[in-house]
Amino acid sequence: MEKVSAEERFLFDLQGFLLLKNVYSAEECRALLDALRRLEAQDYDDRWIMERGSKQSMPTRFRLSKESVRMNGLLRLDPAFDVVMDQPRVLARLQAFMGEPQLINTWSISKGPGTPEGGWHRGIPPTDYSVRNGEIRSRMLNVVTFLTDNGPKDGCVVAVPGSHKNNLDLPWGDYHGLGMPGSVAVTGKAGDVFMFSEAVVHNGLPKTTPGTRSNLYFNYVHKHMNVAAFEPHNLQHFFVPPEVRARFTPERKKLTEWMEHCRWD
Ligand SMILES: O=C(O)CCC(=O)C(=O)O
């Protein structure tokens, strides 16, 4: 397993995130993007979700706005995404920043021109981030894989460095885009990976350029976190059914071990 340098640990603790350059080649991005476009073009029979989920459950294909689409439960939908689960550079850093990771939610967001900004949010409170005896522990981390370039006007992620340790909150909903004090646009090229503690306050900027920006979001939690209690209404997208999980390598089975002890319904 690749060693994570003292400088990267310093930066992750300081900012709450890291941007890894050139994690995926152009060919690898193309293959992932082709699979994503196939999924985005399909219709889904989501009666099983509506019958057994809750009123708040997200459909498989969810229009965030008329210009943008979110796909939920990528591993259930296509084996092309399996490689993202345990990408070696990412996995080494997940272990360094959270201990024993378990994969929960997987989704994508594709934004076309005119996509508005999202809303400022975080997945866990700053109390779920700690450093004890030299060990960094973020209870939840999001791994964002850029399949296309994320320029400043492409609808890229925007984040507040250091907010995973902030002591005073603001009414997040009152702020828009880069108007949030201390916020920075997280820009990069196709193949880069942005890893952040979900305690970091973040958002998505509007897309005003031509073309489509597509990212994958793989969300990991520490083994001790109760997955079922986190977002019960979307557990059907977190959970990979046993017949699908059967194809996973031993490492990927280990990263999704909680699924052996749980039924989403
Ligand atoms: O628009 C983006 O890329 C940010 C998405 C995001 O923050 C999320 O899905 O939680």
State the CATH number of the domain containing residue 95. Answer: 2.60.120.620
From 109, 176, 186, 194, mutation site for ligand 1 pocket: most ligand atoms within 8 A of C-beta: 109
Q: Tell whether 47 is covered by a domain.
A: yes
**228 or 18, which is more confident?**
18
The DSSP string of the chain is: -PPPPHHHHHHHHHHSEEEE-S-S-HHHHHHHHHHHHHHHTS----HHHHHHS-TTPPPSEEEEETTEEEEE-HHHH-GGGHHHHT-HHHHHHHHHHHSSEEEEEEEEEEE-TTPPP---B-SS-GGGEEEETTEEEESEEEEEEESS-B-TTBT-EEE-TTGGG-SS---GGG--GGGSTT-EEE-B-TT-EEEEETTS-EEE--B-SSS-EEEEEEEEEETTS-HHHH-GGGHHHHPPPHHHHTTS-HHHHHHTGGGGG----
pLDDT of residue 227: 85
| Distance between Cα 158 and ligand 1 center (Å) | 9
Q: How far apart are the first and last CA of the chain?
A: 36
Q: Tell whether 95 is covered by a domain.
A: yes
pLDDT of residue 229: 83
From CA 97, how far away is CA 262, in angstroms rounded?
Answer: 26
CA dihedral for 12, 15, 16, 18, sign (positive or negative):
negative
Find out whether the beta carbon of 142 lies less than 6 Å from any atom of ligand 1: no
Find out whether the beta carbon of 109 lies less than 6 Å from any atom of ligand 1: yes
Find out whether the beta carbon of 157 lies less than 6 Å from any atom of ligand 1: yes
Q: Tell whether 91 is covered by a domain.
A: yes
Task: Count CB atoms within 10 A of the CB of residue 145.
Answer: 26
Find out whether the beta carbon of 187 lies less than 6 Å from any atom of ligand 1: no
Segment 220-249 mean pLDDT? 91
Find out whether the beta carbon of 215 lies less than 6 Å from any atom of ligand 1: yes
Q: Tell whether 193 is covered by a domain.
A: yes
pLDDT of residue 263: 77
Q: Tell whether 129 is covered by a domain.
A: yes
Segment 202-218 mean pLDDT? 98
Confidence of residue 91 (pLDDT cuts 50, 70, 90): very high
Confidence of residue 52 (pLDDT cuts 50, 70, 90): confident
Q: What is the residue-averaged pLDDT of the chain? A: 96
- Residue 105 confidence (pLDDT) above 80: yes
**Count of domains forming the chain:** 1
CB of 94 within 8 A of CB of 87? no
Q: Tell whether 1 is covered by a domain.
A: no
pLDDT of residue 228: 79
State pLDDT tens for residues 110-157: 999 999 999 999 999 999 999 999 999 999 999 999 999 999 999 999
Please enumerate in sequence order all residues whose Cβ is within 8 A of that of 245, keeping only pairs 6 or more positions apart, or say none.
253, 256, 259
Q: Tell whether 171 is covered by a domain.
A: yes
> Has this prediction a pTM greater than 0.95?
yes
Supply the residue whose CA is at minimum distance from atom 10 of ligand 1: 203
| Distance between Cα 117 and ligand 1 center (Å) | 9
Which residue, 226, 242, 1, is CA-closest to 104?
A: 226
CB of 94 within 8 A of CB of 2? no
Domain span at residue 214 reads 6-261
Find out whether the beta carbon of 206 lies less than 6 Å from any atom of ligand 1: no
- Distances in Å between the Cα of 224 and the Cα atoms of 122, 146, 245 are 19, 29, 21
pLDDT of residue 213: 98
Q: Tell whether 74 is covered by a domain.
A: yes
pLDDT of residue 69: 98
From CA 246, how far away is CA 242, in angstroms rounded?
Answer: 6
pLDDT of residue 231: 85
pLDDT of residue 264: 73
Integer Rg of the chain from CA:
18
